Chains A and B, each alone.
Chain A
């Protein structure tokens, strides 16, 4: 099997004999195979080298193809959300949000304002952790192991924050069609400010260590250059495109959710080399923190007890036990106390996190356990064979992922699950340009260029 793989790529890259300058040289074919030390994912890069100079590159992907699009056809609309987490697994909330907004576009629903703000806040936190991972891993591959450790430390603070809200560190499955799973906890704003303080310290330390570091600059500046016209021709978007000088950010140009109300800048580079991409990502992290802080200030009020006088707090688990034996009287007038786990939402949180449409979102716990309409709504949405029913149609909805425009194209036939769900992966376009990026540079430049591509296998191969 290995033999056939190498022969098929050898057909396109053949070694040649070069007789210039009196010596006989021969190009070497080097296989930077699927199992390689770089942290970014499995890809096979076959290069033809003339000494240290890269002459020709062929990239082979697909080693992490997990059939996301096929699996999406087998589950219902909310069941696709765990699969979307694992697309760009360093920024899972952006994928969740993109998918949910696509289905909501098809359903013509609009979620409550607070829910928009919550989604934006968590998306930006995800974006920061994605850029931290990317820059950290690139720095590590160039030898700056300390920077990697610092950035992962900052990422841990952010993941603690995400865990407070969603219950999970990495694969969160937080958004739902028509809202989010749970509201932000009460101490979120202070925890967020503390985490950002730490992140800013880490960013300034890393900046001091890297940005004017002779070795870093020599390796990153001038390598992996691509012009903005070529980048547009390949379909490249995101920080990669902005580093070349073209100013396209989905959040600014095709604003969605509440991005048009939040103040932020979009950093744009000029030379299109690795150094510019590094600088764009560092600046984007600061801008994301700015967005989150503005959103926390402007966000509408949180969970409001509908009737503050009568709301007797009962833990949701206790409510289940009472309702199961039919003791509805004991829970009447109570309000469910839920944590950020699988317990769902109570009356207090429900208006701020969920759309008010019983065909789409689960009812608050007091209704599920307290009256028959809530129970029926829960049944109709959860049971096998039922679920959210979406009208026939097709939509495309783009969001700004950490690597660029993450678009979801959904075709629905009116059934219980998506008929066809297509993810437009941002790093697919960047990887297709990899051969142009690497050609002309030296072998050692493959490392920073491939690092700054931020190839995430889950997104590339789906």
Chain B
């Protein structure tokens, strides 16, 4: 199925769950309401026309500094204006991050039978950073969700054993959030710097 028919079939079955959709650069993407995630995932797996048997990837994005990062100019303090190359123009631009929410949990699905891919984006607010877990449908979601918890602090309802996977338990904070400085070390032994 091509990207637009994939999006159509999801939209037809879940009209109230779909917030937005696009096919930027050929990747079929559907932005979903958090409450609709589990049913849509089940539909994707079981519907014979879609048959998404692979949960390829499960990750999250922190949109809090989107478009607001300062330009990294070495001489910016001296007042020399940095004018990089102009933006390469885009015919069908990307709609942008889901408005109003800090995080988005991104799922990539693939079907070996039909060879098509779909991306689901679930916007998550900071105050209520919780999503349904997909471990019942795909066993691989277990570790992927643990990693999202570890790196972003988004918890998954129904996950059998949500604990850190890449960092050690004594680590405080969630490193991939934009407000965690890249070189803030919390050593178990040894000096901080």
A422 and B57 in contact, given A12-B161, A414-B87 (Cβ under 8 angstroms): yes
Contacts of A431 in B (CB 8 A): 143
Interface membership of chain B positions 126-170, coded 1 if the CB is closer than 8 angstroms to chain A and 0 otherwise: 000000000000111011100000010000000001011111111
Interface membership of chain B positions 57-89, coded 1 if the CB is closer than 8 angstroms to chain A and 0 otherwise: 101011000110101111110000010111111
- In the bound assembly, the distance between CA atoms of A246 and B110 in angstroms comes to 14
Is B46 in the interface zone, CB < 8 Å from A? no
Q: Which residue of A lies closest to B181 (CB)?
A: A70
What distance in Å separates the Cβ of B160 from its nearest Cβ neighbour in chain A?
Answer: 10
Contacts of B85 in A (CB 8 A): 359, 380, 386, 388-389
- In the bound assembly, the distance between CA atoms of A253 and B117 in angstroms comes to 12
What distance in Å separates the Cβ of B151 from its nearest Cβ neighbour in chain A?
Answer: 8
- In the bound assembly, the distance between CA atoms of A384 and B77 in angstroms comes to 13
Asked whether, in the complex, the Cβ of B73 is within 8 Å of the Cβ of A385, the reply is yes
- In the bound assembly, the distance between CA atoms of A248 and B188 in angstroms comes to 43
- In the bound assembly, the distance between CA atoms of A407 and B119 in angstroms comes to 13
- In the bound assembly, the distance between CA atoms of A254 and B27 in angstroms comes to 13
Is B176 in the interface zone, CB < 8 Å from A? yes
Asked whether, in the complex, the Cβ of B87 is within 8 Å of the Cβ of A389, the reply is yes
Q: Which residue of B lies closest to A253 (CB)?
A: B115
Is A346 in the interface zone, CB < 8 Å from B? no
Asked whether, in the complex, the Cβ of A62 is within 8 Å of the Cβ of B139, the reply is no
Contacts of A108 in B (CB 8 A): 25
- In the bound assembly, the distance between CA atoms of A24 and B176 in angstroms comes to 49
Asked whether, in the complex, the Cβ of B139 is within 8 Å of the Cβ of A230, the reply is yes
Q: SS class of chain B's interface: helix, strand, loop or mixed? A: loop
Q: Which residue of A lies closest to B76 (CB)?
A: A385
How many chain B residues touch A (CB < 8 A): the figure is: 58
Asked whether, in the complex, the Cβ of A389 is within 8 Å of the Cβ of B53, the reply is no
What distance in Å separates the Cβ of B92 from its nearest Cβ neighbour in chain A?
Answer: 10
Asked whether, in the complex, the Cβ of A424 is within 8 Å of the Cβ of B74, the reply is no
Is A71 in the interface zone, CB < 8 Å from B? yes
What distance in Å separates the Cβ of B41 from its nearest Cβ neighbour in chain A?
Answer: 13
- Partner-binding segment picked from A81-89, A231-239, A258-266, A366-374: A231-239
What distance in Å separates the Cβ of B6 from its nearest Cβ neighbour in chain A?
Answer: 14
Q: Which residue of B lies closest to A58 (CB)?
A: B161
Interface membership of chain A positions 375-414, coded 1 if the CB is closer than 8 angstroms to chain B and 0 otherwise: 0000010011111111111111010000001010101011
Q: Which of A70, A74, A387, A428 contacts B175 (CB 8 A)?
A: A70
Is A294 in the interface zone, CB < 8 Å from B? no
A413 and B82 in contact, given A235-B56, A253-B112, A395-B25 (Cβ under 8 angstroms): no
Most buried by B among A105, A253, A392: A392
Contacts of B69 in A (CB 8 A): 413, 415, 419
- In the bound assembly, the distance between CA atoms of A405 and B54 in angstroms comes to 11
Q: Which of B115, B139, B151 contacts A254 (CB 8 A)?
A: B115
Is A416 in the interface zone, CB < 8 Å from B? yes
Interface membership of chain A positions 413-427, coded 1 if the CB is closer than 8 angstroms to chain B and 0 otherwise: 111110110101000
Is B192 in the interface zone, CB < 8 Å from A? no
- In the bound assembly, the distance between CA atoms of A424 and B148 in angstroms comes to 13
Is B93 in the interface zone, CB < 8 Å from A? yes
- In the bound assembly, the distance between CA atoms of A432 and B138 in angstroms comes to 12
Asked whether, in the complex, the Cβ of B170 is within 8 Å of the Cβ of A1, the reply is yes
What distance in Å separates the Cβ of B25 from its nearest Cβ neighbour in chain A?
Answer: 5
Asked whether, in the complex, the Cβ of B24 is within 8 Å of the Cβ of A394, the reply is yes
Contacts of B115 in A (CB 8 A): 253-254
What distance in Å separates the Cβ of A200 from its nearest Cβ neighbour in chain B?
Answer: 32
- In the bound assembly, the distance between CA atoms of A388 and B54 in angstroms comes to 34
Is A461 in the interface zone, CB < 8 Å from B? yes
Asked whether, in the complex, the Cβ of B166 is within 8 Å of the Cβ of A461, the reply is yes
Is B10 in the interface zone, CB < 8 Å from A? no
Contacts of A417 in B (CB 8 A): 72
Q: Which residue of A lies closest to B150 (CB)?
A: A62
Contacts of B88 in A (CB 8 A): 107, 359, 389-391
Asked whether, in the complex, the Cβ of B56 is within 8 Å of the Cβ of A407, the reply is yes
Asked whether, in the complex, the Cβ of B188 is within 8 Å of the Cβ of A396, the reply is no
Asked whether, in the complex, the Cβ of A1 is within 8 Å of the Cβ of B25, the reply is no
Is A67 in the interface zone, CB < 8 Å from B? yes
Beyond contacts A393-B24, A409-B59: 12 other A-B pairs, Cβ-Cβ < 8 A, are A12-B161, A106-B25, A230-B139, A235-B144, A384-B74, A385-B84, A386-B84, A392-B93, A413-B66, A416-B84, A420-B61, A429-B143
26 cross-chain CB contacts under 8 A? A1-B188, A8-B169, A62-B165, A65-B167, A69-B151, A232-B112, A233-B139, A234-B139, A236-B140, A246-B112, A359-B85, A359-B88, A380-B84, A385-B84, A386-B85, A389-B84, A391-B88, A392-B96, A396-B57, A396-B119, A409-B106, A413-B67, A415-B67, A419-B66, A422-B106, A433-B139
A→B interface (CB under 8 Å): 1, 4-5, 8, 12, 61-62, 65, 67, 69-71, 73-74, 105-108, 230, 232-237, 246, 248, 253-254, 359, 380, 383-396, 398, 405, 407, 409, 411, 413-417, 419-420, 422, 424, 428-429, 431-433, 461-462
